[in-house]
Amino acid sequence: MAGLYDELLLVLHGIWSRRWVALGVAWGVCMLGWLGVAFIPNSYQSKARVYVNTQSLLEDKVGITQVQSQQDLDRVRSTLASAENLEKVVRDTDLSQTVSGPRDIAAKITKLRENITVMAQADPSMIDISAISADSGLSDGANARIAQQVVQKLIDIFQEENLSGDRNQTKQSLAFLDQQIAARGKQLEAADQRRVAFAQRYVGLLPGAGSISQRMDAARMEINQIDSQLVQAQSALSAMNGQLAGTPATLPGVSASGGASPLAQAQSNLASMRARGWTSSHPDVIAAQREVDALRRAGGGSAGGGSTPNPAYLSIKSMQAERAASVQALSTRKAQLQSDLNTMMAKQVDEPGVASEQEKLDSDYAALKTQYDKLMSDREEIRLRGEVKTETGSVQFRVIQPPSAPTAPSAPNRPLLLLGVLLLGIGAGVGVAFALGQLKGTFPNAARLEKAIGLPVAGSISQTVSAAQVAIEKQRMKWFAGASGGLAAVCLLLIVVEFVQRGMA
């Protein structure tokens, strides 16, 4: 630790012995540095904060979501620094006083784009707008005034783009859609006239609505449905015929008391069972059949005279007629469809060009009709959205913080730079003195000489200073202190001048 302390003292002694060199280097570096700081133009920054609320009670009702409204706001914010808007800023502020042609305007726009910042806060409705003016050809007061004017003009443009931009965009969109709708309307009318002329020219050749292929497909589908219904109706008719065959038309006799005879009653029960659809293998039907056969063998059928119509037979007969009529109607409809289908197939074979032309006319008309309806729907939607955005006051615009009038330059920080140059100059002077001490071939003490030559040193002679030399050294110390203090005083004076200039600006 003692060795390190001794080395530090030796270094400080070497620097002190060359203090005039260090002071001269410090003065030179500081003067050059302060001159460079003086040539750095002042930058004045103006800031403002605006609040934009795009929410509306009616927006969701017409399909304008909050995300879409925010996207519109982001679009306006991102295009605020466009060339068109910046040209408005140049022409409507004091920047126009230094513009003499399109080339100057382009240069001003390029510089403005670099010095303008539009930033959204954590709350997307809060937007900060800032502008910097650092024209070395203008005074500090002019730069400060231009920075404020630029921010104010950007706020005006931002408000104009939000409040009137939607109205202008809606008008342009509606005008474009009106032109397209009118053009599609004329095309649709012409297509309809071609269809009418075609129908009049080939009336009766292609009966029905729609193209011939569509009508043929529809006929085939209906025939398939009728085939399925016809199979069911024929099956039901066959069942009715079977039931009718096993049911007697009359009941053969009545009892002495005027009621039905046992044979007639047994036959009636058997007929009711068959009417309900029971087959001959059903146990109840078998038992009833045996009873009827037994009564016939016993002469039960001659116990009374005459006969009466069987109600079950009449009911089954009526149902059979209904099923037969249904089968007949389905068969007739199938024959008619098959005839139409055959006619259309024959026409398609005999006149293939007519069917193709009809299909093309129908296809063109359908496509134009779809486009026309879509354009009408889009126009109504855009009109409604435009009314909601522009007439319901959906956009709330408020300036929270008006453009500030800068009283001090935002950059550079001259006091800090001046102090930095002073420290840099002192450091450069100390560094040069230290480097010179390392380069010269002298030894500060005997120990350093022994270490260098590797031989013991017998002794050393101390420096003897006379009274005159002491007086001269004191005078030099005063000069050195004055020069060093003058360096610090110059730095302090420059800082004071900087603050005075800020106050004047």
Residue 325 has pLDDT above 80, yes or no: yes
pLDDT confidence band for 308 (50 / 70 / 90): low
Best mean pLDDT range from 21-35, 289-303, 333-347, 373-387: 21-35
pLDDT score recorded for residue 380? 79
- Give the three-state DSSP class for 122: coil
Residues 6+ apart with CB under 8 A from 204: none
pLDDT in tens, 420-469: 999 999 999 888 888 887 776 566 666 666 666 677 766 666 766 677 87
SS3 336: helix
* Half-sphere exposure of residue 163: CA atoms within 13 angstroms, side-chain side: 11
pLDDT digits (tens, 9 = 90+) for 100-112: 888 888 888 888 8
Number of Cβ within a 10 Å radius of residue 333: 15
Q: What pLDDT digit, counting tens, does each position of 47-84 carry?
A: 888 877 655 433 444 344 444 545 555 665 666 777 88
| 227: Cβ contacts below 8 Å, ≥ 6 apart | 334
Q: Tell me if 30 sits within 8 A of 491, measured CB to CB.
A: yes
Give which of 201, 174, 150, 159 is closest to 46, Cα–Cα: 150
- For the chain, what is the mean pLDDT? 75
Token pair in block for residue 99: 């513009």
Mean of the pLDDT values across residues 397-402? Answer: 79
CA 204 from chain center: how many Å? Answer: 55
The residue assigned the tokens 């730079």 is: 417
Write the DSSP assignment of 204-215 as a string of letters.
TTS-SSS-HHHH
Q: Which of 159-163, 198-202, 378-382 has the highest mean pLDDT?
A: 378-382
Q: Which residues contact 464 (CB under 8 A, 6 or more apart)?
A: none
Amino acid at the residue 99: V
205 pLDDT tier (thresholds 50, 70, 90): very low
Around Cβ 90, how many Cβ atoms within 10 Å? 22
Average pLDDT over residues 138-145: 80
Tokens of 376: 């009408």
At 303 the pLDDT is: 43
Least confident of 217-221, 414-418, 450-454: 450-454
- pLDDT at position 209 is 52
Round to whole Å and give the CA distance between 146 and 44.
Answer: 9
Percentage, residues of the chain above pLDDT 90 = 4
Going by pLDDT thresholds of 50, 70 and 90, the confidence category of residue 323 is confident
The dihedral through the CA atoms of 447, 452, 455, 458 has a sign that is negative
Which has more pLDDT, 446 or 152?
152
Amino acid at 330: L
Would you place residue 217 in the very low, low, confident or very high pLDDT band (cuts 50, 70, 90)? Answer: confident
Residue type, 176: F
Q: Could you tell me the residue ranges of all domains in the chain?
A: 2-40+412-504, 212-366
In the predicted model, is pLDDT for residue 114 greater than 60? Answer: yes
**Beta bridge partner(s), residue 309:** 250
User: Are the C-beta atoms of residues 56 and 386 closer than 8 Å to each other?
Assistant: no
Residue 132 in 3-state DSSP? Answer: strand
Q: Are 333 and 325 in contact (CB under 8 A)?
A: no
Does 412 sit behind a cis peptide bond, omega within 30 degrees of 0 on the bond before it?
yes
